[in-house]
Structure 1
Amino acid sequence: MSIVDYSVEHPSTELQGFYAWTDTLRGIQYGPGSVSTALPKFFELLGVSKALVLTGRSLYEKSDVVKKVEGILKSINGYGATYYKIGQHSPIAGIRDASKVFIDSGCDVIVSVGGGSPVDAAKAILYYLQQERGGETMPQIAIPTTLSAAEYSIGAGYTDESGKKVAVSSQKLAPAAIILDAELTLATPERLWLSTGIRALDHCVENLYRPLVPPPLKAMGLSALADLFKYLPESKANPKSVEIRQKLQIASWMSLWPIKFGKYSALGLSHSLGHKLGAAYSIPHGITSCLTLAPVVELMSEIGTEQDKEYLAKAFFYLHKPSTGTVDGDVKALSACIKQLVADLGLSSTLSDYNVPREDIPVIAANTLGTETHQLFPETVKLLENLY
């Protein structure tokens, strides 16, 4: 069910409103400045009383975003504590430390502020607390300041002691509430903001061939893809525009629209490669998508099913480009457009830039696919070799 709230204290020309989902996700409030009214409203809606604010060091020390959230919580007597040492790819040490702070402070809700790392860390904390407490569910209120879209997923990834990515998944892990306040994104560094926009684009594209995604959500992803191509360059050119940033937050939401899968459905090869590259070599999530998405789309022109390729060709059409005359040609042209967008945003890089040893390529490919005997192993090795 969708509910639109027109009583927000902002001009009617601004992008704003409220959306509610059944089961775990109780509501998404969006609009510039909405955090001040949305946070108290969600506390009342969820029946919670004390929050652990979970965030990263950079956002905490270099902006006033976290202080603003803390201030709102204090005004409703809902502030418990802040943990600001969640690192890139959500290392397990931070998750354990934050769990202790959560328990010791008597908190009953996590308010995550930042990108995918604090959002996923919050999911992991709540997952293990649920295991310890026999299934008791505690909520997360997510306040994203990047475009990674982690807040719309029931899965969470974190890094264990060995540096490997670990995944947990449960319907109960989806945040109970999400606040999309574009004003809070102004402090996000340009490279992080734009690269996580490519991460959202990665969601759009890989949802086109992701199992279990129904056609209406594929159509929504196509629309989001067009918006990301339009508004990411505009945001780079006009970084202080809250209006453009709000449109990008909505596009990020559309890229990974909350859906209740009976079983978690993994995304495609670009995401899988990103998971194996990111934690092991300290490559940010957004940058892994900048590296892998375009070549994976080009590979799909050769290995994708006809239905997959037709959806990808439709994505090229959504960019208002003339057809090359063939489906395969349009898919390759889409790959070229993605590569050009990454370059135009100043986000082009190589595996050499992140000191990924060439001799690691077979292991990365095998870990991504699950085995060296996978039919796509030679193609995946070649793809990785071309990223140097």
Structure 2
Amino acid sequence: MQFVHDTLAQRVRFASGAAAEGLAAEVAALGARRVMVIAGASEEKPAERITAGLPVAHRHHEVVMHVPVEVADRARAAAVERDVDALVSVGGGSTTGLAKAVALTTGLPIIAVPTTYAGSEATAVWGMTENSVKTTGSDPKVLPRTIVYDAALTLTLPVELSVASGLNALAHCVDSLWAPRADPVNQALAIEGAWALGVGLPLVAAEPDALEGREKALYGAYLSAAAFASAGSGLHHKICHVLGGMFNLPHAQTHAVVLPYVLAFNAPGVPGAEQRLAAALDAPSASEGLARLCERLRAPRSLRDLGMPADGIADAAQAVVAAAPAGNPRPVTLDAITDLVRSAWEGTDAP
């Protein structure tokens, strides 16, 4: 056994119902005196509640999916104008992504309070969209200093969005099995994360007002993101970044739709990891376990239903092949990716 594993320096606080106390402690530890709170309109009230005791200099509510460059520029300008010294993001992946865009140019520290299972809070990856092209990169400046996890904040997340967001987290687990820097440590995190999500998400769907499923899903989402942060972006995420940027598709739902097809495509190339994933999902094969989970959760099934045009398949496939990471378990050919994207667009059963 031989590998190189990077562990990102980050503090994690996990306690249901304790976001306000956790935030206060972390802001005090930073010595921050002028905090910028980033929260979209849907998170405005909970954000105000849990940040009420903080030295808030500005509340920023313009949060847009895929972080358009012009939106990032306005948030950066607001941070500079208010002379803020720390960022607190309260929300999902788009909110965390906007905080990262501000940190990328200002170097301001981030304390992230996730309200979905997106996982962006545990990675040093940033992403912004301009002219229908989503560009991503990695920089230590954008890694939140602390994550404050409070499962109680996810209780108001509708089941449909919880399912899509949770499957997005599961995609981090799956992609980590074959990503460019996959190693035994992040694979172990990914398998445990897949188990937690496989148990937690059905509980969320069955009892959305109960904390047990929400806590397991949030725990799994963190593990999935920690694995992904180390392993890097594999084929699945390259596909979804292309589709999201090119057609402005909803982020989590796109991941949920595409995942079964990428898993079926790559699983034969990683038989050992596939068997461990199958065991985590309590199924004879990983693809069968994922199919059962998606059916149980009534997950979104097709890119067509998300608004992707049929005439975009060819252009998307070409862009995916150009962006595909080296070392994928199976050759990434134009014909193979065209078939994969077309199947995902149609919503046909994955092989």
TM over 0.5: yes
- Please give the TM-score of this superposition, normalised by the length of structure 2: 0.89
Rate the CA distance shift 1:309–1:319 in 2: closer, same or farther, 3 A.
same
For residue 253 of structure 1, the aligned residue among 196, 209, 222 is 222
Match of 2:243 in 1: 277
Please name the residue that 2:29 is paired with: 45
In structure 2, relative to structure 1, the CA distance for the partners of 1:144 and 1:216 (3 Å cut) is same
Q: Which runs of 5+ in 1 are unaligned?
A: 1-20, 130-136, 324-332
CA contact (8 A) 2:182 2:232 kept: no
Q: Which residue of 2 aligns with 1:320?
A: 282
Q: Describe how 1:138-287 pairs up with structure 2 within 5 A.
A: 138-160=108-130, 162-257=131-226, 266-287=232-253
State whether structure 2 residue 325 is matched by structure 1 residue 359: no
Deviation of 1:371 (Å): 7.2
Are the equivalent residues in 2 in contact too, given 1:89–1:278 (CA < 8 A)? Answer: yes
| Alpha-carbon distance between aligned partners in 2 of 1:253 and 1:127, rounded to the nearest angstrom | 22
| Pair 1:376 & 2:333 matched | yes
Percentage identity across aligned positions? 25
Three-state SS of the structure 2 residue aligned to 1:295 is helix
State the alpha-carbon separation in 2 of the partners of residues 72 and 23 from structure 1.
Answer: 29
Q: Secondary structure at the residue paired with 1:256? A: helix
Distance 1:139 1:276 in 2: 29
Structure 1 position 274, deviation (Å): 0.8
Task: Pick the structure with more helix per residue.
Answer: 2
Residues 30-83 of structure 1, C-alpha deviation per residue, up to 9 Å, x if partnerless?
1112212111111122222111111222222xxx2122133132xxxx111111
State the alpha-carbon separation in 1 of the partners of residues 235 and 179 from structure 2: 10
Q: Which residue matches 1:94?
A: 71
Write the letter of the residue equivalent to 1:312. E
Secondary structure, counterpart of 2:13 in structure 1: strand
Q: Give the superposition deviation at 1:23.
A: 6.9
Q: CA shift at 1:187, angstroms?
A: 2.1
Give the drift of 1:364.
0.5
Q: Which AA in structure 1 matches 2:97?
A: D
Separation in 2, partners of 1:198, 1:69: 27
The gaps in structure 2 that reach 5 residues or longer are 1-5, 325-330, 347-351
1:126 aligns with 2:112: no
Does structure 2 conserve the Cα–Cα contact (< 8 Å) formed by 1:281 and 1:354?
no
Q: Give the letter aligned to residue 246 of structure 2.
A: A
Q: 1:276 to 1:222 in 2, by over 3 A?
A: same
Cross-structure match for 2:260: 294
> Alignment partner of 2:52: what SS?
helix
SS at match of 1:247: helix
2:240 aligns to what SS in structure 1? helix
Higher relative contact order structure (alpha carbons within 8 Å, sequence separation ≥ 6)? 2
CA distance in 1, matches of 2:178, 2:317: 20
Aligned amino acid, residue 124 of structure 2: I
Distance 1:117 1:97, change over 3 A: same
The alignment covers a number of residue pairs equal to: 334
- Find the counterpart in structure 2 of residue 9 from structure 1: none
Residue 69 (1) aligns with residue 50 (2) = yes
The amino acid of 2:51's aligned partner reads: E
Structure 1 runs, 4 residues or longer, greater than 3 Å off: 21-24, 258-261
Q: CA contact under 8 A between 2:204 and 2:214: conserved in structure 1? A: yes
TM-score, normalisation: structure 1: 0.81
Q: Is the 8 A contact 1:56 1:85 kept in 2?
A: yes
- Could you say what secondary structure the match of 1:356 adopts? coil
State the shift of 1:213 in Å: 3.2
Residue 257 of structure 1 aligns to a residue whose secondary structure is helix
- 3-state DSSP of counterpart to 1:159: strand
Give how far 1:341 is off: 1.7
Q: Which amino acid aligns with 1:59?
A: E
Counterpart of 2:296 in structure 1 is 344
Q: Secondary structure at the match of 2:51?
A: helix
